[in-house]
Amino acid sequence: MTARALALDLFLAVEGGRRLQPTLSAFLRRHALSPEDRAFLTHLAYGVFRRLRYLDHLLDPLLPRPERLPSRVRWALRAGAFEFLEGKAGHARVHPWVEEVKKTHPALAGLANAVLRRLALREAPLAVRLSLPDFLLEAWEAFFQEVEFAQAFNEPAPLFVTALGKPDGAKDVKEKGERGLRPGPLPDSFVWEGPAEDFPALGLQPQNPASLFAAQLLGAGPGEEVLDLCGGAGVKAAYLASRGARVRSLDVNARRQRAGERTWRRLGLEVAFETRDLREPIPYRADKVLLDAPCTGTGTFRTHPEARYRLKPEEVRAMAALQTQLLETAAQATRPGGVLVYSVCTLTEEEGEGVVRAFLERHPEFVPEDFACPLPLLRQELGAYVRPEGGLDGFYYARLRRVD
pLDDT at residue 169, rounded to an integer: 47
- Which is more confidently placed, 316 or 197? 316
Rounded average pLDDT over 208-232: 97
Strand ranges in 14-158 using DSSP code E only, listed in sequence order? none
Q: Which of 164, 147, 157, 151 is nearest to 266 (CA)?
A: 164
Model confidence at 256, pLDDT cuts 50, 70, 90, reads very high
Which of 66-80, 109-123, 192-206 bottoms out in mean pLDDT, i.e. has the lowest?
A: 192-206
Report whether pLDDT(172) > 80: no
Q: Which of 290, 346, 347, 358 is nearest to 321 (CA)?
A: 358
- Binding site: which residues? 251, 292
Whether residue 373 contacts residue 358, with contact meaning beta carbons closer than 8 Å, is answered with no
- Phi and psi at 271, nearest 5°, equal -130, 130
pLDDT at residue 171, rounded to an integer: 55
Q: What is the mean pLDDT of the chain?
A: 94
Report whether pLDDT(15) > 80: yes
Q: Which of 180, 49, 62 is nearest to 118 (CA)?
A: 62
Per-residue pLDDT tens for 95-133? 999 999 999 999 999 999 999 999 999 999 999 999 999
- The reported pTM is 0.94
DSSP state of 168: T
Rounded average pLDDT over 345-366: 98
- Binding site for S-adenosyl-L-methionine: which residues? 251, 292
End-to-end CA distance of the chain: 65
Model confidence at 1, pLDDT cuts 50, 70, 90, reads confident
CB 392: neighbour CB atoms within 10 A? 23
Residues that are catalytic: 345
In the chain the domains, ranked by start, together with CATH numbers, are 3-124 (1.10.940.10), 206-402 (3.40.50.150)
Whether residue 337 contacts residue 402, with contact meaning beta carbons closer than 8 Å, is answered with yes
pLDDT at residue 283, rounded to an integer: 97
b (16+ CB within 10 A) / e for 139-166? bbeebbeebebbebbbeebebbbbbbbe
Distance of alpha carbon 301 from alpha carbon 173, whole angstroms: 30
Helix (H, G, I), strand (E, B), or coil: what is residue 108? helix
Element (H, E) at 34: none
Helices (H) and strands (E) in the chain, counts: 15, 13
Whether residue 293 contacts residue 236, with contact meaning beta carbons closer than 8 Å, is answered with no
- Long-range contacts of residues 134-137, Cβ cutoff 8 Å, at least 24 apart: 135/313, 136/298, 136/308, 136/311, 136/348
Rounded average pLDDT over 339-350: 98
pLDDT at residue 292, rounded to an integer: 98
Whether residue 295 contacts residue 344, with contact meaning beta carbons closer than 8 Å, is answered with yes
Distance of alpha carbon 138 from alpha carbon 130, whole angstroms: 13
Distance of alpha carbon 76 from alpha carbon 99, whole angstroms: 10
Model confidence at 261, pLDDT cuts 50, 70, 90, reads very high
Distance of alpha carbon 166 from alpha carbon 157, whole angstroms: 28
- Which is more confidently placed, 382 or 195? 382
Report whether pLDDT(201) > 80: no
Q: Return the amino acid letter for 217.
A: L
Rounded average pLDDT over 26-54: 96
pLDDT at residue 365, rounded to an integer: 98
Whether residue 8 contacts residue 75, with contact meaning beta carbons closer than 8 Å, is answered with yes
Per-residue pLDDT tens for 131-158? 999 999 999 999 999 999 999 999 999 9
Rounded average pLDDT over 384-400: 98
pLDDT at residue 167, rounded to an integer: 47
